[in-house]
Amino acid sequence: MKKLLVLLLLFTVTFTYSQNDDDKLQLEKIYKTSLTNGKSYEWLDYLSNQIGGRLSGSYNAEKAVQYTKSQLDSLGLDRVWLQPVMVPKWVRGIKEYAYIESSPGKTNQVNICALGGSVATPEGGLKAEVIEVKGIDDLATIGKEKIEGKIVFYNRPMQPELIHTFEAYGNCVDQRYAGAMEAAKYGAVGVIVRSMNLRLDDLPHTGSMSYGETPENKRIPAAAISTNDAELLSGMLALDKSLKFYFSQKCKVYPDVQSYNVIGEIKGNEYPNEIITVGGHLDSWDLGDGSHDDGAGCVQSMDVLRLLKETGYKPKRTIRVVLFMNEENGLRGGKKYAEEAKGKGENHVFALESDSGGFTPRGFSFDCDEANFNKILQWKSLFEPYLIHYFEKGYSGADIGPLKDTGLVLAGLRPDSQRYFDHHHASNDTFEHVNKRELELGAATMASLVYLIDKYGTLLPKKVKG
Amino acid sequence: MKKLLVLLLLFTVTFTYSQNDDDKLQLEKIYKTSLTNGKSYEWLDYLSNQIGGRLSGSYNAEKAVQYTKSQLDSLGLDRVWLQPVMVPKWVRGIKEYAYIESSPGKTNQVNICALGGSVATPEGGLKAEVIEVKGIDDLATIGKEKIEGKIVFYNRPMQPELIHTFEAYGNCVDQRYAGAMEAAKYGAVGVIVRSMNLRLDDLPHTGSMSYGETPENKRIPAAAISTNDAELLSGMLALDKSLKFYFSQKCKVYPDVQSYNVIGEIKGNEYPNEIITVGGHLDSWDLGDGSHDDGAGCVQSMDVLRLLKETGYKPKRTIRVVLFMNEENGLRGGKKYAEEAKGKGENHVFALESDSGGFTPRGFSFDCDEANFNKILQWKSLFEPYLIHYFEKGYSGADIGPLKDTGLVLAGLRPDSQRYFDHHHASNDTFEHVNKRELELGAATMASLVYLIDKYGTLLPKKVKG
């Protein structure tokens, strides 16, 4: 009986707590300000339409650094700075070209793009027979004899039955990332991959790939073809295994270049050494303008600090926006930020990343211990009026991952993911596919969580230095 | 103490119940079938791209009746039929034209469309000074003297701070629906309304309006202008109250014509006289192709029956799909269906409508008594894996509204509403703005609720006749 009473008491306390009127009011202010006087959409417009795609090491990436720094400078934060980081520079070169040759002179042109990090095809392009596989494991089964001299075609689609599209992506992306290094071991001369896209369309989707330890002279070119073309190629192969595939790409790796993470902060007035970081990545792939991936996350993160200021909130802890450079093909920005934070003995208590598109926010996933997770769950009802229901343990974000440490709470914004992979790394990741309200709701949702974490702190913070 | 025990027991029972493995499995089957082998998107493609906008009384509406009936015929249902209903026929005529005249010969063209049901402008169009108001209440304050001979410009925007966009719509739409009949009382010669759209763009949004009891010779033409043009006109009026607005529209009301509700059903094998109805409306406005409003709801409703069949489920109760005609400008189909149902003493136990767009489903709102609502709430956890969290009391749908009766449970699918009013009643309510997965998730969500209602029944069903 006593246990029951305690349970009931706990329930009552929790309930009262989560209904805290000040918090309700502050969340109302944050959402209203974002929806009526948000800056995220205007910033994204500039980033997408005035700058555009901003692959690490490009002139556009540099322009994005300067632009976002200038915007942070204008917000009256306590400090804005650039954190230098060397980044890789891979350049696509002139547009790729590909076709299926079913008999000499009879060709079907194919929508193709080089994977980020790939080598070029030989001078004049590469033409070879094709062997279709459903994944890396198939290579061993098929054996070197049948693969040697051919182009390996990875054609395992994303699973439409999975509700979380990122899970479907996770189940497929090894083909893109490691497909070339694995196929090279079996003597393949090139790799083409079905685009990581849940729908059938004509757009090829790029993304990072790695050669791992493959020596330079053994590296084979890798490219993605559209889902429609993957279906076509697979269908044609079923009829004729001896057809040939041609592709030509002129991509190239240059030496690393200097770039920057862009950082701004509001100093905490009670616990300035406890740092809350909110961010996204400033670099993007080069085919679209990077509006969803991850312009959205950058402008939302910038607006988190502005929304807290606009609503008159004075943070107890130091709140930092970090626009990470080079998430897409190296994660150098995320690694650098964590390295310097650890070097300086900075005490990060919470880090939040938005890198899943600018769609209607549904909630967060948390990478933290049970105690902190349970504490956060008590705030869930505060978010219900904004249709934010999803609070689960899970993945946070690539850029904040390197910060991971005991006691630190990592979180990722989880927007609706159904349309994300229609645009991801493709030429239609563009501004017109971001809805202003959805973007602003995301910024407000992030600002609300940052507010609550700042106000109530996290459990078991590490010992504060300095 | 006893109360506490009872509470705890109730909690345990509820928990066990909602975790029912059969139900979990059936929902898994429904969602998987919809996402891998759904028909809704294919049907919508035809309805939108081969037929297009289908205003009541139009040839396209008739084609939509024939097409959907033929598709239902192909599903092997127990019965498919057309329910005759007379519908109004309003025709837009040639494209409307409008401009702001700031001084003689100096004009800005304006994006305009007649409101559904409006009379035409006089031969040669209508030109008059403009009086801007924020709503119908302003008319009395301003008074007849200042309104007489002028065009009343209703310019109260939808409130961006509301999370539920339908609430913002509800707070605005009186201007469109009743603006003309009210302004006519003060001697206005015409009415223009700011489009019911949360974003700023160039598209005028049509929609129904009524003259109420206004005699025919006192009816004044009413039209909507785009939000950008509303901002422009308001800004120009601030500088010059004597500017003139010109518009011309040739719309016309014809005598009522014969049309149909399209109905199909699977007979229940235990309680065939208990009827579960699921539907949307087949008519649409004429500017776009009616993909979201309400092609989506129709094809989802059709797929509910198909999904139940495909997954091998044999309904206990009779499950009916109803594609209602004339929701947009008359609700004749909904009224007719209810009238016949009542006339025949049919026992409807549950009715579900999808008429809020084909976006990612978030849940349902229920118009029913507490007992039934609490019963339904017990199923909530079954929907969580599909990110369906929203179960609230509220509005169901226009077409099923006339069925309302004691003991009957009415429900509306609640998709994400953030983008809905970007497209609603405008020329961009088109197929390419519907995402296949989002549409299919909606169909599966509806089918899942229909399955649970069919399996467990509703509380306090009415006495079954016949």
Residues of B involved in catalysis: 327
CB A129 within 8 A of CB A150: yes
Strands (E), B267-335: 271-281, 317-324
d(CA B419, CA B416): 8
d(CA A452, CA B283): 47
Q: What is the CATH number of domain A19-89+255-456?
A: 3.40.630.10
pLDDT over threshold 90, residue B462: no
Please judge whether B436 and A32 are an interchain contact, meaning their C-beta atoms are less than 8 angstroms apart.
no
Give the mutation candidate from A360, A382, A421 for the B interface (greatest B CB count, under 10 A).
A360
Band of the pLDDT at B1, cuts 50, 70, 90? very low
- Residues with Cβ within 8 Å of A35's Cβ and at least 6 positions away in sequence, in order, are A437, A440, A441, A444, B160, B161
Band of the pLDDT at B323, cuts 50, 70, 90? very high
Q: What integer is the mean pLDDT of A21-48?
A: 98
Band of the pLDDT at A124, cuts 50, 70, 90? very high
Q: Which of residues 345-384 of B touch A (CB under 8 A)?
A: 360, 362
Q: Which residue is closest to A31 within chain B, CA to CA?
A: B161
Any B CB within 8 A of A9 CB: no
The average confidence (pLDDT) of chain B is 95
Q: What is the CATH number of domain B20-90+255-456?
A: 3.40.630.10
Domain extent listing, chain B = 20-90+255-456, 93-250
Q: What integer is the mean pLDDT of B381-390?
A: 98
Please tell me the predicted confidence (pLDDT) of residue B4.
52
Please tell me the predicted confidence (pLDDT) of residue A253.
96
Residues of A involved in catalysis: 327
pLDDT in tens, B106-147: 999 999 999 999 999 999 999 999 999 999 999 999 999 999
ipTM of the complex: 0.93
Q: What integer is the mean pLDDT of B391-409?
A: 96
Q: For B336, how many CA atoms within 13 A lie in the half-sphere containing its CB? A: 22
Per the document, the length of chain A is 466
* More confident site: A236 or A7: A236
Q: Which chain A residues touch B445 with a CB distance below 8 Å?
A: none
Please judge whether B441 and A163 are an interchain contact, meaning their C-beta atoms are less than 8 angstroms apart.
yes
Please tell me the predicted confidence (pLDDT) of residue A407.
86
Please tell me the predicted confidence (pLDDT) of residue A462.
47
Residue with tokens 């802890």: A317
Q: State the count of interchain CB pairs (< 8 A) between A and B.
A: 71
pLDDT in tens, B291-314: 999 999 999 999 999 999 999 999
* More confident site: A330 or A10: A330
pLDDT in tens, A158-199: 999 999 999 999 999 999 999 999 999 999 999 999 999 999
CB A300 within 8 A of CB A439: yes
pLDDT over threshold 90, residue B13: no
Of A5, A198, A387, the CB nearest to B362: A387
Give the mutation candidate from B40, B166, B365, B389 for the A interface (greatest A CB count, under 10 A).
B389
pLDDT over threshold 60, residue A463: no
pLDDT over threshold 70, residue B389: yes
Please tell me the predicted confidence (pLDDT) of residue A1.
46
3-state secondary structure of A184: helix
d(CA B324, CA B280): 6
Burial class (CB in 10 A: 0-12, 13-18, 19+), B222: buried
Any A CB within 8 A of B387 CB: yes
| Three-class DSSP labels, chain B | CHHHHHHHHHHHHHHHHHCCHHHHHHHHHHHHHHHHHCCHHHHHHHHHHHHCCCCCCCHHHHHHHHHHHHHHHCCCCCEEEEEEEEEEEEECCCCCEEEEEEECCEEEECCEEECECCCCCCCCCEEEEEEEECCCHHHHHHCHHHHCCCEEEECCCCCCCCCCHHHHHHCCCHHHHHHHHHHHCCCCCEEEEECCCCCCCCCCCCCECCCCCCCHHHCCCEEEECHHHHHHHHHHHHHCCCCEEEEECCCEEEEEEEEEEEEEEECCCCEEEEEEEEEEECCCCCCCCCHHHHHHHHHHHHHHHHHHHHCCCCCCEEEEEEEECCCCCCCHHHHHHHHHHHHCCCEEEEEEECCCCCCCEEEEEEECCHHHHHHHHCCHHHHHHHCCCEEEECCCCCCCHHHCCCCCEEEEEEECCCCHHHHCCCCCCCHHHCCHHHHHHHHHHHHHHHHHHHHHCCCCCCCCCC
Please judge whether B360 and A436 are an interchain contact, meaning their C-beta atoms are less than 8 angstroms apart.
no
Q: Which chain B residues touch A363 with a CB distance below 8 Å?
A: none
Share of chain B above pLDDT 90, in %: 93
Task: Name which CATH class applies to B93-250.
Answer: alpha beta
Q: What integer is the mean pLDDT of A99-111?
A: 95
Cross-strand pairs, B390: B363
d(CA A309, CA A315): 9
Of A160, A419, A435, the CB nearest to B435: A419
pLDDT in tens, B361-370: 999 999 999 9
Q: Which chain A residues touch B435 with a CB distance below 8 Å?
A: 418-419, 422
Of A161, A387, A418, the CB nearest to B435: A418
pLDDT over threshold 70, residue B18: no
Angle between helices A436-456 and A21-37 (to 10 degrees): 150
Please tell me the predicted confidence (pLDDT) of residue A58.
98
pLDDT over threshold 80, residue B3: no
Q: Render the burial of B293-328: b for 16+ CB within 10 Å, e for the rest.
A: bbbbbbbbbbbbbbbbbbbebebbbbbbbbbbbbbb
Give the mutation candidate from A7, A163, A201 for the B interface (greatest B CB count, under 10 A).
A163
Residue with tokens 């306390």: A13
In this structure, of A2-16, A56-70, B345-359, B374-388, the range with the lowest mean pLDDT score is: A2-16
Please tell me the predicted confidence (pLDDT) of residue B406.
85
CB B191 within 8 A of CB B221: yes
Residue B273 burial (CB count, 10 A):
15
Residue with tokens 């409307």: B96
